[in-house]
Amino acid sequence: MIRGSAQVESVASEPRIGVYVCRCGGNISDVIDTEKVAETIKLVPGVRVSKVHSFMCSEPGQAMIAEDIKKEQLNRVVVASCSPFLHELTFRVAVRRGGLNPYLYEHVNIREQGSWAHHGDPEGATVKAIRLVAAAVHRLYHAEPLEQIRLPSHRRALVIGGGIAGLKAAVDLAAKGVGVVLVEREPELGGRVLGLARLFPTDDSGRAQIDRLVREVCNNPNIEVLTGTVIKGVSGFLGNYDIAVGPALAAGAAGVDVGGAKDKKLSVGAIIVATGHDYYRPSLGEYGFKRYTQVVTMPEFIDLLAGASGDGIQWNGQRIHRIGFMHCVGSRQIEGIHPPQGDGKVNDYCSRVCCTTVLHQAVHAKRRFPNLAVFDFHQDIRTYGRLHEDYYRRASEAGVIFFRFHGDDPPLVEEGVDGFPIQVRLKDWLTWGEEVVVPLDLLVLAVGMVARDNRELVNLLKLPTGADRFFQEVHPKLRPVETSVNGILLAGSAQAPMTIEETLASASAAASKAACLLAHDSVELEPFKARVDADKCIGCGLCFPECAYEGALVRTSVEREGKTVTLAKVNPGLCVGCGACVPVCPTRAIDLQGWTLNQFEAMVDGLLSAPLPSKEVTSESSSHGQTH
């Protein structure tokens, strides 16, 4: 079973491997005996250096690798630390700084898959770490230097969604000389913001901000605007996406297209998804919605207030004297208390903007109509942003009356008495949880933000969404506007609820990322792609049906002994490196660069032949029937 040493001899250049075990400042070493891992791994053939450091990712840690490569003439490196997701790239770069090909590097995760997963079992975690590192060392016996694949790319981006996020991303990118195609489903640009009569914190109308951006968009020759248009097809990869667009069908009128939009093909290098959000739509009877005409949503109220004449707010021909604002409608929901949404989940997130919107509108209403009685029903007041707290203070000073409810006991909306159409009944936790009844003429539901139902787009782009149904970024801090699909970026409230300011920031950040990706006329892709050894390929074609990515495998004709034969060939741009083609090849002609079958076999050998600290593993080694 233990063939490890025999394998080593078959490797052309004698491996000189450096192994570095990270304590992660205690995150790892509090559980795993990192010193023992480093000590034990020295016994694996080919390991020249084996060291421990508090933070391998820190400058001294990285510098140590680079130095050892030179001093000890290392030709392979292993770091055992956190998830490769965090630091694989860091160490590849460090290895390159030492003068070595960055793909002669292997990353072992002994934190997420070690110390954190097995914190109750230090010895077991230590043994596992040793085995994993040994496997990595064995894998490196067969590692070859690889080069990134450089492909020409289009210096042009597709922006999906012509709301404020899409408009902003488009003008930013265009200013950098990147061509932009802006696709909007509706006949008009502007999205949700267009419909908002008064925004915080500027007190502008939404239209003013949108008009300014639309003007910039229309005056910029680098931007092509396609309204009434939707995405019909997406293929390709970073730098080389092929997009099919076509007319959006007008709602309810199947087959009727909107405003002359046509079917069209586009070639772009990157895609910015700026499809925005929807307002939460209360269910029938939720806080009296649709049961009482005096219950309206916030967007309706903003219009109502903006349109109110000098002598007061009118609703349904009635003059409004007492108005209430209900926070968190469709947000901060609790399982078991609130009915689930269509997908069986509740909206357990905070919608972020509604508290400030309520108080901004309340202050404005009180300023216009000082005699209006205003009541606010909240759990917490979340006026976190710049100037937002000011609305809270001004609302209190203007006499807005606040009530606080607990999320697990939401207020009830009932038919009113004494001439009031409705009333709100709640336990008010600003007064001992006393039950109070507040008669009202109008109740405004501060409806939260929900993800748009974008199933088609999600499928076309193959984008992940979170439990909250919004698009999911790769990592909230390391890569906050990127998705797991290379070259597809997120802008605005398609990602999560956010204010207009925050949406603009995210749009510019996405534009910046796109500008970075498309800074040159080529892009670089990781080399982990399938490769066909033309000498071994017999042209049987068995691999073709296994490949799920159109165009990744192509047929190519070559002359062999005077005859023309058809062989398989890989298009590295479209190959995702899944390896599905590898096992069906009868001649082992097709293999995955960086993840060859030889390497997998060697890893298994490494796992099984790992030298283990004898004391701790007697029981385990006997159970495996291993003898040393």
Residues at the interface with ligand SF4 (CB under 6 A)? 327-328, 331-332, 350-352, 354-355, 379-380, 382, 446, 448
Determine contact, residues 95/146, Cβ cutoff 8 Å: no
- Judged by beta carbon, residue 327 or residue 529, the one nearer ligand SF4 is 327
Determine contact, residues 163/274, Cβ cutoff 8 Å: yes
Spatial CA neighbour of 497 closest among 377, 392, 418, 382: 382
Which of 123, 501, 524, 546 lies at the binding interface for other proteins (CB under 8 A)? 501
Question: How many Å apart are CA 159 and CA 511, to the nearest integer?
Answer: 10
- Which of ligand SF4, other proteins, none sits in contact with 602, Cβ below 5 to 8 A by type? none
Q: Is 385 in the site for other proteins (CB under 8 A)?
A: yes
Which of 449, 511, 543, 589 lies at the binding interface for other proteins (CB under 8 A)? 511
E strand intervals along 186-284: 223-226, 229-237, 240-247, 264-268, 270-273, 277-279
CB 21, min distance to other proteins, A: 15
Between the two ends of the chain, the Cα-to-Cα distance in Å is: 11
CB 356, min distance to ligand SF4, A: 7
- Judged by beta carbon, residue 156 or residue 352, the one nearer ligand SF4 is 352
In the block, residue with structure tokens 């190519």: 556
Q: Is 477 in the site for other proteins (CB under 8 A)?
A: yes
Which of 2, 26, 152, 538 lies at the binding interface for other proteins (CB under 8 A)? 26
Per CB under 8 A, contacts with other proteins among 267-326 are none
- Which of other proteins, ligand SF4, none sits in contact with 515, Cβ below 5 to 8 A by type? other proteins
Determine contact, residues 159/274, Cβ cutoff 8 Å: yes
Which amino acid type is present at position 254? A
- Which of ligand SF4, other proteins, none sits in contact with 574, Cβ below 5 to 8 A by type? none
- Which of ligand SF4, other proteins, none sits in contact with 505, Cβ below 5 to 8 A by type? other proteins
Q: What angle do CA 270, 273, 277 make, to 5 degrees?
A: 175
Spatial CA neighbour of 111 closest among 42, 44, 56: 56
Question: How many Å apart are CA 591 and CA 568, to the nearest integer?
Answer: 12
Determine contact, residues 544/568, Cβ cutoff 8 Å: yes
Question: How many Å apart are CA 165 and CA 188, to the nearest integer?
Answer: 15
CB 58, min distance to other proteins, A: 3
Please give the structure tokens belonging to residue 268: 């772009």
- Judged by beta carbon, residue 315 or residue 325, the one nearer ligand SF4 is 325
DSSP state of 587: T
Q: Is the dihedral angle over the CA atoms 298, 304, 307, 312 positive or is it negative?
A: negative
- Judged by beta carbon, residue 235 or residue 472, the one nearer other proteins is 472
Question: How many Å apart are CA 496 and CA 138, to the nearest integer?
Answer: 44
CB 354, min distance to ligand SF4, A: 3
Q: What angle do CA 199, 383, 282 make, to 5 degrees?
A: 70
205-244 footprint of other proteins as x/- string (CB under 8 A): ----x--xx-------------------------------
- Judged by beta carbon, residue 25 or residue 259, the one nearer other proteins is 25
- Which of ligand SF4, other proteins, none sits in contact with 73, Cβ below 5 to 8 A by type? none
- Which of other proteins, ligand SF4, none sits in contact with 616, Cβ below 5 to 8 A by type? none
- Which of ligand SF4, other proteins, none sits in contact with 393, Cβ below 5 to 8 A by type? other proteins
**3 state DSSP class of 229:** strand
Question: How many Å apart are CA 86 and CA 271, to the nearest integer?
Answer: 24
DSSP state of 471: B
CA distances from 234 to 11, 158, 225, 271, 459 (A): 43, 11, 18, 10, 10
Question: How many Å apart are CA 494 and CA 475, to the nearest integer?
Answer: 16
- Judged by beta carbon, residue 366 or residue 388, the one nearer other proteins is 388
Q: Is 89 in the site for other proteins (CB under 8 A)?
A: yes
Q: Is the dihedral angle over the CA atoms 105, 107, 108, 111 positive or is it negative?
A: positive
- Which of ligand SF4, other proteins, none sits in contact with 86, Cβ below 5 to 8 A by type? other proteins
Phi/psi at 161 (5° precision): 115, 120
CB 162, min distance to other proteins, A: 15
Q: Is 177 in the site for other proteins (CB under 8 A)?
A: yes
Which of 12, 253, 343, 386 lies at the binding interface for other proteins (CB under 8 A)? 386
Spatial CA neighbour of 518 closest among 232, 241, 266, 224: 241
- Judged by beta carbon, residue 198 or residue 264, the one nearer ligand SF4 is 198
Which of 17, 19, 24, 575 lies at the binding interface for other proteins (CB under 8 A)? 24
Question: How many Å apart are CA 131 and CA 373, to the nearest integer?
Answer: 71
- Which of ligand SF4, other proteins, none sits in contact with 54, Cβ below 5 to 8 A by type? other proteins
- Judged by beta carbon, residue 79 or residue 326, the one nearer ligand SF4 is 326
- Judged by beta carbon, residue 499 or residue 609, the one nearer other proteins is 499
- Which of other proteins, ligand SF4, none sits in contact with 43, Cβ below 5 to 8 A by type? none
Which of 233, 476, 541, 551 lies at the binding interface for other proteins (CB under 8 A)? 476
Which of 71, 150, 265, 393 lies at the binding interface for other proteins (CB under 8 A)? 393
325-344 footprint of other proteins as x/- string (CB under 8 A): ------xx-x----------
What length is written for the chain?
A: 628
Which of 43, 306, 478, 584 lies at the binding interface for other proteins (CB under 8 A)? 478
